[in-house]
Structure 1
Amino acid sequence: MDVMTSRPPEPRRTALPALRPPAFTGRLHDARTATVVGRWLGVAFAVCFLTGLVSHYLQRPPDWLADALPARPVWGYRLTQGLHVATGLAAIVLLLVKLWTVYPRLFVRPPVRSARHALERLSVGLLVAAAVFEVLTGLLNIAEWYPWPFSFVPVHFAVAWVATGSILLHIAVKSPEIAAHWGRRSEGTRALPAEDAVDRRSLLLGTGAAVGAVTLTTVGQTFTPLKAFDLLAPRHPDHGPQGLPVNRTAAAAGVSARTLGAWRLEVAGPRPYTLTLDALRAMRQTAVRLPIACVEGWSVDAGWGGVRVRDLVERAGGRPGRDAVRVTSLEVSGSYRVMEMGAEYAEDPLTLLALTLGGQSLSLDHGFPARIIAPNRPGVLQTKWVHRLEVL
């Protein structure tokens, strides 16, 4: 008799799903949407680049340009740097939307189809990397947080050129597609289902609303009529000692009432001299109303009083309008501890060695006993805790 033996059932094998690239069927990832958002983003980056050039060369002018920088209009830097920061913040929203519209192209197969396609992908990779770097480092700069080992200003400036060049390269490579989808009667637009056209309009309106909200809640730090809505900006124009914001406090600069001691102003030149604070106050005082505008994007108009720098230069044997001035601060260290101003600024009657702010003596955080205030200058060059002027 045959004995039948039972075998355990074989485990059921589950077939692994084949790995396939994701499929994107939404019309909001199409070329028309990307072109519209790209136009806005291109304008934002162009404004950022041009205003960034102004800011960089005002902060760090080459020798051949230093004496030719204009001191007028007095609100020039306030306008350009305010635009720079405002459009940079708007560009964050636009860049995120732009990347969302085009990210399905990361999954195109084969990755490279031709030399032109390789150039296109290279330009896109370079563009995305440079653009993300610029808006991210710019955002952290206005918050004064620097989690990187490099110096922000020169690196941000250098990558701005890379971003601009990659944008121009990208436009050149994609120009046929951009031209085909530029207008409302773009190729393929008429074939859009009605619900997809509504979705696109909703996306673009939502993007515009987001840009408007970011701008409204940050631009008040520069455009003070909107300061009541200044909810997201790192500075409020009315918050700070003597009603004015402060970036670098006296404690951070290593300056205290003790270090001031028997303070004297040294003025070096063909006829050098020194002045006490009382002697400075006894000189002819000039009152001006000038904005102080910082690279982080905030700016405030304020009333300043003090002695004209040109009077101090002339007393030291300098030639107003022809001689530049080197200014040295009491702060222990810092990139702008020593500052030079060109002859155009040194001669200007609005450029002061300021002793008062709003009719009161400067507070220690605002540069007591004396600081520089000049028209159309970045705030980092409005040197505080001045103890030496040198006619060059």
Structure 2
Amino acid sequence: MKLRPPRLPRPPRLPRIPAPVLPSFSGRLHDARTATSIGRWLGGAIALCFVTGVISHYLQHPPDWLADELPSRPSWGYRVTQGLHVASGIGAIPLLFAKLWTVYPRLFVWPPLRSVRHALERLSVAVLVAAAVFELFTGLLNTVQWYPWPFSFVPVHFAVGWLLLGAVVLHVAVKYPEIREHWGRRSPGTLELPAVDGPDRRSLLTGVVAAVGAVTLTTAGQSLTPLKRFDLLAPRHPDHGPQGLPVNRTAAAAGVSRLSARDWRLTVLGRNSYELTLDELGALPQYTVTLPIACVEGWSKSAKWTGVRVRDLLERAGARPDAAVRVVSLERRGAYRVMEMGSGYARDPLTLLALCLNGRQLSPDHGYPARIIAPNRPGVLQTKWVARMEVI
């Protein structure tokens, strides 16, 4: 007779984890058609913002091989591209909110990860959203010159811009079949979009367009001066500032005290180095040009500047026709205390060492006793309080 081994007790069953109670969404417009309609507008705004941002970056920080190739004309070029950069970035903010509203119910789909491909897709979307939020809101804070972060804004903003572009391209590639299906007004074979949604979708899109138009109208006047009367939300008004022109960096902020004409000297270093007092500089041939100041924060305005041509000063120092120039400011601190101009800018007849603004001597905040004004240049490179020029 065989003895049966005693039965071992069964291990206790683990409690079954119930599926989480997810929120339900009754809105009918959290769908692919609405997301595609808003997404193509958002994609266009981001593309315009990216292209103009790249232009701005390389005009501010040109690599050595590009410095002498940057064009000085059209004289208003940077004013247009940077105005578009800031306007498209601000306009993209309500578009981003609307886009996220159309798709956020998908965050609550269960299970959250259905496959490796689905996990990679969600990861790419997370990168896309994070990069877009970072770019738009750091750019917005830059317009008011508020930097509540420990990193340098310009290089990080530029790098994340490329990350955002790559995330957009990847997202479009992954979602292309769905985008193509819902791109037009009619989507044959699509069952999830009943015809009754049409009026609601048009109302939503109309509201989004109105929001974009409102933020654009109330901020674009800082660079598009015909709209300056509507400039309610922009941090700068083109008419507010000393001598009727805004300033970003005052003489006090730059550590430049009031100078007397007797103490100041302009030093020009080259094969034939020399110095000039303010009276001697004023005795040289004077030219008046109309050029805009266009700042990276998005504001711009044209003004009349009077002074000496930079190319005349360089020729007197024995500079060759292809020479560039380094300009050194009196300011004690600042990332743009030393500025370099390629030969294209230095030889342009519109590039002046300006002494007067709108027919009056420069105020201290506008760079007294002398400042650079050049065509198609960012405002941060229109160096104020010039003390020295070096032929390079």
Could you say which TM-score interval applies, normalised by the shorter chain?
over 0.9
1:225-246, Cα deviation, whole Å (9 max, x unpaired): 1111111100000000000000
Q: Is the aligned partner of 1:343 residue 2:343?
A: yes
Match of 1:359 in 2: 359
1:56-110, Cα deviation, whole Å (9 max, x unpaired): 0000000000011000000100000000000000000100000111001111111
**TM, length-normalised to structure 1:** 0.93
Cα separation, 2, equivalents of 1:18 and 1:161? 39
Cα separation, 2, equivalents of 1:319 and 1:348? 14
Indicate if the aligned counterparts of 2:326 and 2:340 stay in contact, CA closer than 8 A: yes
Cα separation, 2, equivalents of 1:355 and 1:178? 57
CA shift for structure 1 position 275? 0.2
Cα separation, 2, equivalents of 1:260 and 1:176? 70
Cα separation, 1, equivalents of 2:203 and 2:339? 51
1:242-269, Cα deviation, whole Å (9 max, x unpaired): 0000000000000111588700000000
Question: Which residue type is aligned with residue 356 of structure 1?
Answer: C
Q: Is the aligned partner of 1:285 residue 2:286?
A: yes
1:21-72, Cα deviation, whole Å (9 max, x unpaired): 1122322100000000000000000000000000000000000000110000
Gaps of 5+ in 1: 1-16
Question: Which residue type is aligned with residue 279 of structure 1?
Answer: E
Match of 1:184 in 2: 185
Match of 1:273 in 2: 274
Cα separation, 2, equivalents of 1:259 and 1:122? 61
Cα separation, 1, equivalents of 2:273 and 2:144? 41
249-258 vs 281-290, which moves further: 249-258
Question: Which residue type is aligned with residue 214 of structure 1?
Answer: V
Match of 2:52 in 1: 51
Gaps of 5+ in 2: 1-17
Indicate if the aligned counterparts of 1:354 and 1:371 stay in contact, CA closer than 8 A: yes
Q: Note closer, same or farther for the CA distance 1:185–1:195 as it changes in structure 2 (3 Å cut).
A: closer
CA shift for structure 1 position 196? 2.5
Indicate if the aligned counterparts of 1:120 and 1:174 stay in contact, CA closer than 8 A: no
The DSSP-based 3-state class of the residue aligned with 1:183 is: coil
Cα separation, 1, equivalents of 2:290 and 2:203? 46
Cα separation, 2, equivalents of 1:319 and 1:374? 20
1:328-361, Cα deviation, whole Å (9 max, x unpaired): 0000010000000000000000000000000100
Q: Is the aligned partner of 1:238 residue 2:239?
A: yes
Indicate if the aligned counterparts of 2:262 and 2:277 stay in contact, CA closer than 8 A: no
The DSSP-based 3-state class of the residue aligned with 1:233 is: coil
Q: Note closer, same or farther for the CA distance 1:138–1:259 as it changes in structure 2 (3 Å cut).
A: farther
Compute the RMSD of aligned alpha carbons. 1.5
Match of 2:213 in 1: 212
Match of 1:109 in 2: 110
Cα separation, 2, equivalents of 1:27 and 1:162? 33
1:292-343, Cα deviation, whole Å (9 max, x unpaired): 10000000010000000000000000023x0000000000010000000000
The DSSP-based 3-state class of the residue aligned with 2:70 is: coil
Map 1:87-102 → 2, pairs under 5 A? 87-102=88-103
Cα separation, 1, equivalents of 2:81 and 2:132? 20
Cα separation, 2, equivalents of 1:261 and 1:385? 15
Percent identity over the alignment is 73
Indicate if the aligned counterparts of 2:68 and 2:343 stay in contact, CA closer than 8 A: yes
1:97-155, Cα deviation, whole Å (9 max, x unpaired): 00111001111111111222122101100000000000010000001100001110000
Indicate if the aligned counterparts of 1:75 and 1:291 stay in contact, CA closer than 8 A: yes
Map 1:154-173 → 2, pairs under 5 A? 154-173=155-174
Question: Which residue type is aligned with residue 198 of structure 1?
Answer: P
Cα separation, 1, equivalents of 2:82 and 2:252? 27
The DSSP-based 3-state class of the residue aligned with 1:263 is: coil
Match of 1:130 in 2: 131
Question: Which residue type is aligned with residue 209 of structure 2?
Answer: G
**TM, length-normalised to structure 2:** 0.93
Match of 2:4 in 1: none
Map 1:263-342 → 2, pairs under 5 A? 263-320=264-321, 322-342=322-342
Cα separation, 1, equivalents of 2:116 and 2:170? 14
Q: Is the aligned partner of 1:26 residue 2:4?
A: no
Runs of 4 or more above 2 Å deviation? 187-196, 258-261
